[in-house]
A and B are shown apart, each in its own frame.
Chain A
Amino acid sequence: GEDVEQSLFLSVREGDSSVINCTYTDSSSTYLYWYKQEPGAGLQLLTYIFSNMDMKQDQRLTVLLNKKDKHLSLRIADTQTGDSAIYFCAESVLGNTPLVFGKGTRLSVIA
């Protein structure tokens, strides 16, 4: 079955890079997503990657996918205090929702 695992907490200093990790189990996953949730808000789609890609970069965000190890990471360069939030990794099989989410990683940015 599908299962997505994430570490629960990460603390970094402002200006450093943050790396949030995720592992998934479904070998047929086609889309892998990163969502951001700020306090009291819904989920904001940050970026996603197809399972036939190894890397995707979008401004300060870099997603790396290791299909062999079923490991996904989100790197945030030059982390700012506004990046403090909970980050969710999610997987989805092509043409077949639902999204399966990890428990989320709470990122705290120290000024």
Chain B
Amino acid sequence: KAGVTQTPRYLIKTRGQQVTLSCSPISGHRSVSWYQQTPGQGLQFLFEYFSETQRNKGNFPGRFSGRQFSNSRSEMNVSTLELGDSALYLCASSPKTGDEAFFGQGTRLTVV
């Protein structure tokens, strides 16, 4: 069974631009969560989607948004990028909310 797939793996963007990251969950998993990992703040929860609905949201500004499609694939978008948005963005999928989460390899975003 294929694992969680995140694309792209690496991304370099300029301040002020926007970016879209993609996550394909494990087949049959309907819950997708996103986390930001930085050396200073560690792993922080961004949001969780289940059946195309946002179930939980972390404490991030409105520049961070996401969505989930009918096939459970999810995207997250960051607008007006700031240097501090440079991080590893990790996606995790679960069969349903509250089940154990399986993570993808992450997308490393660098904002210059």
Asked whether A48 and B100 contact (CB < 8 A) given A42-B90, A98-B45, the answer is yes
Residue of A nearest to B50 (CB): A97
In the bound complex, do residue B100 and residue A98 qualify as a contact, i.e. CB atoms below 8 Å apart? no
Residue of B nearest to A101 (CB): B43
B98 at the interface (CB under 8 A from A): yes
Size bin of chain B's contact surface: 20 to 34
Complex CA gap A93/B48 in Å reads 14
Q: Is the interface of A mostly helix, strand, loop or mixed?
A: strand
Residue of A nearest to B40 (CB): A103
Complex CA gap A45/B42 in Å reads 17
Complex CA gap A91/B96 in Å reads 17
In the bound complex, do residue B98 and residue A42 qualify as a contact, i.e. CB atoms below 8 Å apart? no
Q: Which residues of B contact A (CB under 8 A)?
A: 4, 6, 31, 33, 35, 42-43, 45, 48, 55-56, 58, 90, 92, 94, 97-98, 100-106
